[in-house]
Structures are given as C-alpha cells and as structure tokens.
Structure 1
Amino acid sequence: MADSSSASSANQPERGLAALKQHVIEHKISCGLWALRLLAMLFTLFYFIPLFGNPYNIYYKVLICNSAINALRLHQRMPPIQFTSAFFAELSMEDSFHYLFYASVFLYASPIALVLLPIFLFALLHFASYSLTLLDCLGQNRMWAWRLMISLVEFQSGNILRFIAMIEIILLPISIFLVFSGRAGLLTPFIYYHFLSLRLKSRRNPYTRNVFYEIRNAISAVAAKPSVPAIIRRLLTYFLQVVQVMEPVRQQ
C-alpha cells in the first residue's frame, strides 16, 4: 500500500513555485505576453486615474504595449515572413494583425480615451485566461479569490467582446470628427475604415460583424419609417450605401 501510494504521488505533476518557475522557463513568450497585458492594463488605469506620470505619455505607452503584444502573437501564429500574396492574405485575417494596425492608426493622433478601452478589455480577457494556467502551476486549491474574479471575467466574455465591437464601430464616425477638430490627420478616417473592414473579415471573432449588422439593420428600419424627414432619410440611405461596401462576409 505504501509503495502504491508513493508511486501515485510520484506520477502527479509537481505544484508550487518550482512548477511555476519551470513553466515560465518553458513558455517564455506566453509568459511575456501575460506580463505585457498586465502592463497595458496598468498603464490604461494610470491614464484614466493619473496618479503616476504624465497621462499624455502613458497613453502612447499603452499603444506601444499593444503593438508589442500583437507582434508577439503574430510571431506565435504565423509562419516565417514570405513575400507572397497567400501569406499577406493569411496575415490580413489575423486579429493580432488587426490590432497591430489599430495602434498605428492612433499613434500619430491626439489622445482619445475611447481608443484605449478595446486594448484594455482584450488584455483583461487574455490576462485572465492565462492567469488560470499560472495558478494551476501553484496548485488547483490555491488562491480561490483570484480564481473567482477570473471566472467572473470569463463569464462576461461575450458581453465584453460585444462592447469592444461597439467601440470599434463607433470610432469610425469619431475619427471623422477628430479631423474637423484638428486632433487627427486627414488620412486617419480612411485608414481606420480599412481597419474596420479587416475586423469584419475576422475568422475568430464574429462580434464586430454581428454588431455591425445589428446597427445597419436598425438604421435601415429608422430610414424606412414614414415619419422620418426626407433630408434625414436621404442621409441615412447614403450612409447605408457607404457601409454596404464594408460587407465582404455575410453573417452566419
């Protein structure tokens, strides 16, 4: 009996700080991504609650963290760079490429608080998911308070992704107003339009596409009402014709 119990305990994976250290050594990039996401969240909080540093500088640090995160994700998911149309077509379908592009759109514009929310929320979702892996290294019965908070984040993941999709869509008209206010360049709305087109093609995240269709159908229903003034109906119809070009993928 003693021999069998000692054999079964020997077959069980080690738990504790030693196991966590070994995991970090074996998964350097994944752990580096976890640390960068924590840093991105902290910088975002410091931007909204300016207790440390200059909020203007912190804003751009969030964008830089986001670029580093998505560059590493592309390194994990994509094969070595090939100058072929197939490679770039595959690259354009990756969510990590989309948000690497997203950071470059606003890197040369004035700080906009709404821009940081998708970065913060994506970082929160992935940070929570990988934190469970790290906690399992310490032991499955450890840190129940942290596990509970992570479970709450994962339980609300659908609503969080819908909220991110809503922000992605709302930022398109906001980018146009930024041009007229002098806070962004003339090309910013056109570049962001291309980003949003890429998000509608995403294979792994259908939320932007679904929310886009919901908003479009709601605007179409408003434009069809007889009580709507003719000038507003014409503006809404023109808007629907413009966004119709952004529908390369039909909702499933």
Structure 2
Amino acid sequence: MPIIEEMTEDEPTGGGASSEGTSGSDRSNDTSTTGGPSGSSSTSQRHGTQAVCDHITAHKIDTALWLSRMFTVMCCIFFIIPIFGPSFTSSAYQRALICNGLTSALRLHQRLPRFQLNREFFGRMLLEDSCHYILYSLLFINSYPITLVLTPVLLYALLHACGYTKLLLNLHGETSLQFLRRLIDKLTTNQQQLFRFIALNEIIIMPCLIVMIFIGKCSLLLPFVYYRFLSLRYSSRRNPYCRVMFYEMRVVSENYSRQANCPGFLRSFITRGIAFLEKLAPPTQPSQS
C-alpha cells in the first residue's frame, strides 16, 4: 500500500503504510556527523540521557515538530475533556488547530524548502499533504467548535509524537520505559485502522457541515471550501485511505441496494447519490510508494 505523506520523513514508527523516512535520515545523519568508521561505532554504542540530548541538539526541527505535536495532543484532550471550564475549552480548540497549522507549515517547508513565486511551485505545494492540513486548520479555526474536526488532528499528532518518542527511547536505552514502549507498539500495530478511521472522519464532516448550515452553526461558504479540502485528500499521491474509504462505502451501498428487501425509493436514492458523487470526484494521480 502507498506510503502516507504525514507519516513519511518525520519520525519512525513501525509497519505498513506508516514507515517513515526520518528514522532512516536521522540514523544516516548521525552516522555522517561522526567523521568516520570509528566515530560511527562509538555513536551506535552510546545510550542514555547524553545520547538523547545530543540527538535533540543535532535535530532541532524534528524536536520542534515533536514538541508541537505533543502540545497539540494536550490541547485536543483538554477540549474533549473540559476540566478547566468552558473558556479554556474554547481556547484549547483554537490552540490545537493553530499548532496543527504551524506543524504542517514546518513540514511543508521541509518538503519544499525553496519558495518560488510561480504557478509550478504553488501547484506542487497543493499536492503536498501538509498543505492540505494548513488549509484544514484555517477552515475551522474561527468556526463553531466541532469535536469531529479535532479527531484527525489528534490522531495524526499522536502517531507522529509516538514515533519520535520511540526513537528517543531507543537512544536512551533498549530497556528503558518498557510500559511506554508497549503502549507505542500497540498504537503502531493499529495504525492502518487509525488511518482508515481518520479518512472516514474527514468524509463524515462534510454532511455534518451541511446540517450545521440549517441550524445556524456554520457559514454557507464553509462546505464549499471543505469540498476543496476533501477533493485534495481524495487525489493525494501519498495517502490512499480517503479513496479507499469512498470505494468501500460505495461497495457497501451498492450491495445493499441490490438486496430484495431494499425499498425502491431508497434504491433509487442510493443510485443517484453514487452517480452524483462520481461527478464530484476529482481525477487521481498515481500513488507514490
């Protein structure tokens, strides 16, 4: 299955579509800065607090991303569990989206370090998943608080933070904090299901926004702009899960409409709905592995 952009070239986690490029790059950077075979050998044998500090010093951007994601997770938890009152809950919602946008902007800078004021650069920028989540944060930062909006933010930040945390634990010692290691491994084992859940959550937000228009909780323009975000996720080169979930939902709907006990009006509604969504679906590009 294609590699997911958000989980590539960030922090290392194990398994499947979430294998990340930074784990390899971090190790290669550690090796390249030692100055030779003897330096590489001494670095590989170093463990403990000093090794962690050296790694943090040598990889400041990755550490900043890790800290920002940990802060994002905390803000999401404080919004979901309002233990500090309604005013703090509202600010936690905005802080989570702001931090998610800043993290995505830093990731986008890593992907496209040289800014160019031309159409080709902006076209390549829109293909990056990090750019999609900058748009996502801007869409909802001033909107009515929606718990579903923070679900992708929370889960992606948690997955990335766990990957970098495991890297630091490995540097500290192979047997350090075994309980935390087991929790991270458990999360890594269920990454595929989490990615599918995130994609499904992003799809469900669209009808929720339409309903919120009629109850006065959402701007009339927001669903149209969110459709643009959803189309970018659908045509993502690195993240196939949005397309996968749309396909599986279509298969389930078509199978149900073919059953004998399906009412005629519902069968017609499903058929027309699928045809309408096919017209809205953007063209897809070949996925990157």
Aligned twin of 1:249: 284
By how many angstroms is 1:17 displaced?
1.7
Aligned twin of 1:75: 109
Tell me which stretches of 4 or more aligned residues in structure 1 moved more than 6 Å: none
* Identity percentage of aligned residues: 38
Q: Contact (CA 8 Å) 1:38, 1:127: kept in 2 or not?
A: yes
By how many angstroms is 1:230 displaced?
4.1
Residues 170 and 8 of structure 1: CA distance in aligned 2, closer, same or farther (over 3 Å): closer
Letter in 1 for 2:179: A
Structure 2 residue aligned with 1:180, among 201, 204, 214?
Answer: 214
Structure 2 residue aligned with 1:102, among 107, 122, 136?
Answer: 136
Distance 1:8 1:44 in 2: 40
Q: Contact (CA 8 Å) 2:236, 2:285: kept in 1 or not?
A: no
Structure 2 residue aligned with 1:22, among 27, 40, 54?
Answer: 54
Aligned twin of 2:228: 194
Letter in 2 for 1:32: A
Letter in 2 for 1:51: I
By how many angstroms is 1:13 displaced?
3.8
Give unpaired runs (5+ residues) of structure 2. 1-38
Residues 235 and 66 of structure 1: CA distance in aligned 2, closer, same or farther (over 3 Å): same
Distance 2:158 2:83 in 1: 21
Structure 2 residue aligned with 1:50, among 79, 82, 92?
Answer: 82
Aligned twin of 2:36: none
TM-score when scaled to structure 1?
0.89
SS at match of 1:98: helix
TM-score when scaled to structure 2?
0.79
Q: Contact (CA 8 Å) 2:235, 2:285: kept in 1 or not?
A: no
Q: Highest Rg: 1 or 2?
A: 1
Residues 138 and 191 of structure 1: CA distance in aligned 2, closer, same or farther (over 3 Å): same
Distance 1:250 1:118 in 2: 23
Structure 2 residue aligned with 1:39, among 64, 71, 75?
Answer: 71
Greater RCO, 1 or 2 (C-alpha within 8 Å, sep 6+)? 2
Q: Contact (CA 8 Å) 2:237, 2:286: kept in 1 or not?
A: no
Of the structure 1 ranges 222-231 and 203-212, higher mean CA displacement relative to structure 2 is found in 222-231
* Equivalenced residues, count: 246
Residues 8 and 95 of structure 1: CA distance in aligned 2, closer, same or farther (over 3 Å): closer
Q: Contact (CA 8 Å) 2:94, 2:142: kept in 1 or not?
A: no
Distance 2:40 2:73 in 1: 42
Distance 2:208 2:286 in 1: 25
Distance 2:42 2:273 in 1: 66
Residues 177 and 11 of structure 1: CA distance in aligned 2, closer, same or farther (over 3 Å): closer
Aligned twin of 2:32: none
By how many angstroms is 1:75 displaced?
1.0
Distance 1:251 1:217 in 2: 22
SS at match of 2:150: helix
Distance 1:126 1:240 in 2: 35
